[in-house]
Every structure is written in C-alpha cells, then in structure tokens.
Amino acid sequence: MNENASFLVLFLAPVKEYLEDDHVSEILINGPSQIYIERNGRLEETAAKFSGEAQLKAAAVNIAKSVDRQLDEAHPDLDARLPDGSRVHATIPPISRCGTILSIRKFKKEMLTMEKLEQFGSIPREGVLLLNAIVKLRKNVIVSGGTSSGKTSVLNALSGLIPENDRILVLEDASELQLQQKHCVYFETRKPDKNGQGEFSIRDLVIASLRLRPDRLVIGEIRGGEALDLLQAMNTGHSGSMSTIHANSPIDALSRMETCAIMSGIQLPLSAIRMQVASAINCVVHTMRLPDGSRKIVEIAEVLPLEHGEYRMRTLMQWKTESVAPDGSVTGRFVAGEEPTFRSQAEILHLELPERPS
Ligand SMILES: Nc1ncnc2c1ncn2[C@@H]1O[C@H](COP(=O)(O)OP(=O)(O)OP(=O)(O)O)[C@@H](O)[C@H]1O
Ligand SMILES: [Mg+2]
C-alpha cells in the first residue's frame, strides 16, 4: 500500500482504490453517494459510495480528530493538512446541503521541475529561457491562474532556477513546495487552537522572515493582507522573490494583488498601492488548465511602469489554442510576443534569450 494513503484509508475505505492510485490526484466526495476523482488531469465520476451519511461524517470527524481539530456544529468546516502531506477540506451540514463534503488533494511525492514542464509541453524551450533570465536577473515574479491550474507546480519549477548560493526562505500555509537548493529554510503557518489562540499567519511569517536575512522569499500563495508586506519586501531589497495568486489573467493578477494589499487594513490611497504593485511585480507567469486536463504556462508577461495610473503589461510569450476536439483534446501553439525590456541586462550576464523576432 502507498504509505501516503495508509493513514487516510482507515476512515475512507470506500475510496481506498483511488487513494492508492498514483494517477489520481484528487478525490471529491459530494455526500455519501456522489464521488468524483481527478485522474490524469481529468474529472471522472466513480461508482464508489459510502454506506450512508453517518459513515461519511464519521470519517470526516475522525480525520479532524487525528489532526487535533474539531468538526462539529460549532466548527462545520475543516481545512487540514494530514501528516502524509495530503490536503483535506471537509464541510458538514447544514453548511453543505447534500451531506458531508470532503475533498482530498493527494500529496505529490515529486514536484514538477522545469525540465518536466518542458517535456510535458507545458512550456516551450523559448519560455524556459525567458523564465531562466527572469529568475537570474532577480525579477519579482507572481504565478497566476485559476484553481488547480498548476500555479504551485510552476512556482516550484521556477524556484529551481534560483542560483545555489542564494539564501531562500519558503513560507507556506500548508507545505507543498520542495525546492532543489540546499540553502533553503522552510516555514509553515499555524492555525489558531480550540480557544482561538496561537495563530501564526502568513503575514506574521513574512514579517518575521525579513529578520532572517533572506536573499529571496518564496511564498506559497497570496490570499490577503500579506500582499502589502510582500510588496514592501520586494520593493526594499528582497528582489527575486516569488509567489502565486488566484487570478484569471496577468492583469487580473495585479488587480488581485491590489485587493489583497487593501485587506491588510493599512490605510493607503489606491494610487499608492497601485504604484507599489507596478514597481514590485516585474513579471507574471499565467497558468491554465485546458479542456483536455493538461496544464500550460499560457502567458509570460512583463509589468511596465504605470501610465495615467493604469497598469501596462507586455506579453513576452503566449499560448494560442487553435482547436478543441469534441473529446476535449486541444491543439495550438506557443507564439513569441514582444521584446523583453531586460534583453540588454540578460546579455551582460551572458543569459541566453529567445532570438529577436526578425
Ligand atoms: N504542467 C503540468 N502537467 C501536468 N500536470 C500538472 C502540471 N502542473 C500541475 N499539474 C498537476 O495538476 C494538479 C494541480 O497542480 P497545482 O497544485 O500546482 O495547482 P494550483 O493551481 O497550485 O492549485 P490550487 O488552486 O489548489 O492551489 C496537481 O495534481 C499537479 O500535479
Ligand atoms: Mg496551489
């Protein structure tokens, strides 16, 4: 039996088969008799069933107990990472209307590297050259995309391009990243205990980490007020930092950073926040899950200075979908965009870039 699955399997016998199948990345349980899985990137409905709501709820409550958390009327929602690294989210009625809802994102033993992304056709060679120059030139990067579009995987692969002699601090809500460098220090947030005490948020981590002499910060995901602390860090000497954000396009990623910075509660005029975003974020790498379940880096964009208070971006590379077959399979190609502003900087460091379009 897969070691990662052995812990969960105690409570989740009806979906044991999927916990043990390495091609299955997620298990989505919508009440006792509707269970979907994601296998090889695609969602499938399964015939698996729990004997009833009581069995399913007992499984969810036991999972909560096993990580010393509560799942009951007063705490109807659980977001937990299990000791094996799997992420579990549970919601019980009456918050959910069709019984207990459980979603399990299985722990990946191996994170994707840039070489693998290239092999899978998620990025072309020219894209890898661009990203390599972006990271080596210490540009600050945000990886954007929708849910499960591959943001964390791309962040992990990007971090692989950081030179070995930089001191990297990795800050996460639930540890997923596995960097290849030796000089990496990992931190994880802590949720409040049963009495609401002891929380250590990603924001607390960003502030604490700045005292630990980071050369680069790698932050799992920006969801709230920590955006402002990260922007300030990026603007004050911690260049070459990277994170991810949930957004629908590169420009939307900048707006989302803005919204998150406002969530910090620190009163700053919008124009000041916008200036911070535009000067701190140098590049956005946008990811997408295509209809055939594959994930791609669909755009690499550079952030230019604000013009009349509005964001401006330059697309350096883009994926163009040409057709989608009835079975969902996608054909298309990567196309070069505009010239990067950093070509001469890259040349000074002898970093290879895609040829200039003739
Ligand atoms: N380029 C890729 N090719 C194939 N599979 C991929 C690729 N990138 C990611 N995946 C798979 O897709 C799933 C989601 O990836 P990942 O966790 O990186 O996405 P995410 O956008 O960070 O998700 P979330 O929104 O939950 O944070 C994982 O199972 C991962 O292994
Ligand atoms: Mg993620």
Question: Domain holding 38: CATH number?
Answer: 3.30.450.90
**What is the Å distance from ligand 2's center to 13 Cα?**
27
Residue 357, domain member (yes or no): no
Residue 80, domain member (yes or no): yes
Please state, in angstroms and as integers, the Cα–Cα distance from residue 242 to each residue in 108, 114, 128, 168, 239, following that order: 21, 15, 16, 11, 9
Q: What is the per-residue pLDDT for 3?
A: 47
Q: What is the per-residue pLDDT for 18?
A: 92
Ligand 1 binding pocket mutation candidate from 89, 148, 290, 296 (most atoms within 8 A of CB):
148
**What is the Å distance from ligand 1's center to 41 Cα?**
9
Q: Assess contact for 15 and 1: CB atoms under 8 A.
A: no
Q: Which of 105, 126, 141 is the last residue of a domain?
A: 105
Q: Please give the number of the atom of ligand 1 that sits closest to the Cα of 176.
A: 17
CB atoms near residue 62 (< 10 Å):
13
**pTM of the entire structure?**
0.89
Q: What is the per-residue pLDDT for 70?
A: 87
Q: What is the per-residue pLDDT for 4?
A: 44
Nearest CA owner, ligand 1 atom 8: 150
**What is the Å distance from ligand 1's center to 327 Cα?**
21
Residue 354, domain member (yes or no): no
* Among candidate residues 218, 214, 220, the one with its CA nearest the CA of residue 173: 220
Nearest CA owner, ligand 1 atom 24: 148
CATH code for the domain in which residue 255 is found: 3.40.50.300
Structural domain tally of the chain?
A: 2
Residue 356, domain member (yes or no): no
In terms of domains, do 97 and 164 share one? no
List the chain pLDDT tens, one digit each, 358 residues: 444 445 667 888 999 999 888 889 999 999 999 999 998 778 899 999 999 999 999 999 999 988 888 899 999 999 888 777 788 999 999 999 989 999 999 887 778 899 999 999 999 999 999 999 999 999 999 999 999 999 999 999 999 999 999 999 999 988 889 999 999 999 999 888 777 889 999 999 999 998 999 999 999 999 999 999 999 999 987 889 999 999 999 999 999 999 999 999 999 999 999 999 999 999 999 999 999 889 999 999 999 999 999 999 999 999 999 999 998 889 999 999 999 999 999 999 999 999 886 6
**What is the Å distance from ligand 2's center to 143 Cα?**
10
Q: Please give the number of the atom of ligand 1 that sits closest to the Cα of 25.
A: 29
Q: Please give the number of the atom of ligand 1 that sits closest to the Cα of 105.
A: 29
In terms of domains, do 186 and 328 share one? yes
Residue 264, domain member (yes or no): yes
Tokens coding 13: 């016998």
Ligand 1 binding pocket mutation candidate from 42, 120, 152, 330 (most atoms within 8 A of CB):
152
Q: What is the per-residue pLDDT for 7?
A: 61
Q: Please give the number of the atom of ligand 1 that sits closest to the Cα of 116.
A: 1
In terms of domains, do 145 and 88 share one? no
Give the E-state strand segments of the chain in sequence order. Answer: 24-30, 35-39, 42-45, 77-81, 87-91, 101-105, 141-145, 168-172, 184-188, 216-219, 242-246, 283-289, 295-307, 310-324, 330-336
**What is the Å distance from ligand 1's center to 150 Cα?**
3
Residue 121, domain member (yes or no): yes
Please state, in angstroms and as integers, the Cα–Cα distance from residue 130 to each residue in 68, 159, 181, 353, following that order: 45, 14, 21, 6
For residue 331, give its domain range: 114-348
Strand partners, 186: 170
Q: Assess contact for 241 and 216: CB atoms under 8 A.
A: yes
C-alpha–C-alpha distance, residues 250 and 247, integer Å:
7
In terms of domains, do 145 and 119 share one? yes
Q: Which of 105, 136, 153 is the last residue of a domain?
A: 105
**What is the Å distance from ligand 2's center to 37 Cα?**
18
In terms of domains, do 134 and 92 share one? no
Ligand 1 binding pocket mutation candidate from 87, 295, 297, 334 (most atoms within 8 A of CB):
295
**What is the Å distance from ligand 2's center to 286 Cα?**
13
In terms of domains, do 215 and 326 share one? yes
In terms of domains, do 197 and 286 share one? yes
Tokens coding 46: 């399964």
Q: Which of 105, 124, 156 is the last residue of a domain?
A: 105
Q: Please give the number of the atom of ligand 1 that sits closest to the Cα of 111.
A: 31
Amino acid at position 190, single letter: R
In terms of domains, do 303 and 178 share one? yes
Q: What is the per-residue pLDDT for 67?
A: 82
* Among candidate residues 251, 31, 7, the one with its CA nearest the CA of residue 107: 7
In terms of domains, do 25 and 157 share one? no
Residue 294, domain member (yes or no): yes
In terms of domains, do 286 and 313 share one? yes
Burial state string for 236-272 with b = 16 or more CB within 10 A and e = fewer than 16: eebbbbbbbbbbebbbebbbbbbebbbebeeeeeeee
Ligand closest to 111 (CA) is 1
Q: Classify strands 283-289 and 295-307 as parallel, antiparallel or unpaired.
A: antiparallel
In terms of domains, do 96 and 119 share one? no
Pocket of ligand 1 (CB under 6 A): 25, 41, 108, 112, 117, 120, 122, 145, 147-153, 295
Q: What is the per-residue pLDDT for 6?
A: 59
In terms of domains, do 309 and 202 share one? yes
C-alpha–C-alpha distance, residues 27 and 211, integer Å:
40
